[in-house]
């Protein structure tokens, strides 16, 4: 049974278990918006070390991501520890604890054609387990018609573990992964149970790391900005593999594959034990 949470209803818990995704309206206090949007401006102008970019410096046709800055950035550290996103993830994962893995800024400039490819998150990451989830919070409005995320409902239960795909053209660490490709959802959308929600600033999507998801580009005439946090619950285990994200590697970890990822690099943000 998950922890009580003022925003999480029994229906949401059931939906998270059955569908692998839920929308939680008004999850992020508006007092965070201005600071996080200003951070997005700074990042776009001067990207951090772990970023991807389809059109550096462009103000259109640009899908930009930047991750793993909470260890060195005071705003993002506060966001990770104080915004309540970890508590939300723990409640929906049915976990007593939540460790932060990383945060990720996601920006689509107006009139961006690059879609977010359909993918599962877990194969990108050096972990395994059912209690691994993301909280994706909109900082600007996003509609399904123009730019919002979509999910294949129930795909977290399908047993697939699909090869990660790069968000940009460049081949990078993902090239080491060997595995079956994610199903081509767009080739036959009617064959899948696809769900998405129009989002307002502060609305969150909480989804399992096993759930297949993707997004169109951005047809809107405003920037689409979101920030995601990635959470490890009680039953997560360390599972590095070729093609997993190099932000944290075996060399930095004292635990062995298959063990619970106890580490200062993955601090406990929520601990209700
Ligand atoms: O914001 C996007 O378009 C991609 C987000 C995503 O894939 C994720 O948060 O896992």
Full DSSP string of 70-129: TTT-HHHHHHHHHSSHHHHHHHHHT-SEEEEEEEEEEEE-SSB-PPEEEE-SGGGSSEES
Query: How many Å lie between the centroid of ligand 1 and the Cα of residue 116?
Result: 7
Q: What is the pLDDT of residue 118?
A: 96
Which is the closest atom of ligand 1 to the Cα of 106?
Answer: 1
Q: Where are the domains of the chain?
A: 10-45+59-271
Here the tokens at position 248 are: 């944290």
CA distances 158 to 120, 121, 153, 154, 250, Å, are: 11, 14, 10, 7, 29
Mark the ranges of the chain whose per-residue pLDDT is less than 50: none
Here the tokens at position 22 are: 């839920």
Q: What is the pLDDT of residue 179?
A: 84
Quote the pTM value: 0.97
Q: What is the pLDDT of residue 3?
A: 77
Q: What is the pLDDT of residue 2?
A: 60
Question: Is residue 228 in contact with ligand 1, taking CB distance under 6 Å?
Answer: yes
Query: How many Å lie between the centroid of ligand 1 and the Cα of residue 258?
Result: 27
Q: Looking at domain 10-45+59-271, which CATH architecture does it have?
A: Sandwich (2.60)
Q: What is the pLDDT of residue 135?
A: 98
Here the tokens at position 30 are: 């508006």
Question: Is residue 116 in contact with ligand 1, taking CB distance under 6 Å?
Answer: yes
- Alpha-carbon torsion, ordered 216, 126, 137, 26, to 10 deg: 130
Kindly report the protein residue whose alpha carbon is nearest to atom 10 of ligand 1. Answer: 121
């Amino acid at each position: 049974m998950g922890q009580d949470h003022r925003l999480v209803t029994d229906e949401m818990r059931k939906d998270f278990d059955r569908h692998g995704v839920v929308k939680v309206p008004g999850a992020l206090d508006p007092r965070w918006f201005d600071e996080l949007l200003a951070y997005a401006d700074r990042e776009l102008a001067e990207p951090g070390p772990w970023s991807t970019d389809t059109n550096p410096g462009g103000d259109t046709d640009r899908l930009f991501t930047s991750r793993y800055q909470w260890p060195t950035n005071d705003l993002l550290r506060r966001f990770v520890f104080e915004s309540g996103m970890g508590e939300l993830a723990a409640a929906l994962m049915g976990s007593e604890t939540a460790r932060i893995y990383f945060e990720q800024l996601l920006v689509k400039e107006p009139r961006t054609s690059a879609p977010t490819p359909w993918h599962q998150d877990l194969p990108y990451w050096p972990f395994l387990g059912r209690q691994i989830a993301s909280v994706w919070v909109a900082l600007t409005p996003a509609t399904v018609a123009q730019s919002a995320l979509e999910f294949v409902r129930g795909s977290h239960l399908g047993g697939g573990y699909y090869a990660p795909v790069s968000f940009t053209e460049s081949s990078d660490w993902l090239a080491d992964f060997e595995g079956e490709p994610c199903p081509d959802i767009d080739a036959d959308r009617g064959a899948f149970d696809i769900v998405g929600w129009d989002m307002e600033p502060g609305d969150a999507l909480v989804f399992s790391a096993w759930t297949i998801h993707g997004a169109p580009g951005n047809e809107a005439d405003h920037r689409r900005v979101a920030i995601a946090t990635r959470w490890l619950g009680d039953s997560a285990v360390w599972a590095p593999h070729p093609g997993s994200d190099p932000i944290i590697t075996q060399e930095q970890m004292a635990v062995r594959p298959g063990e619970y990822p106890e580490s200062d690099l993955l601090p406990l943000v929520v601990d209700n034990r």
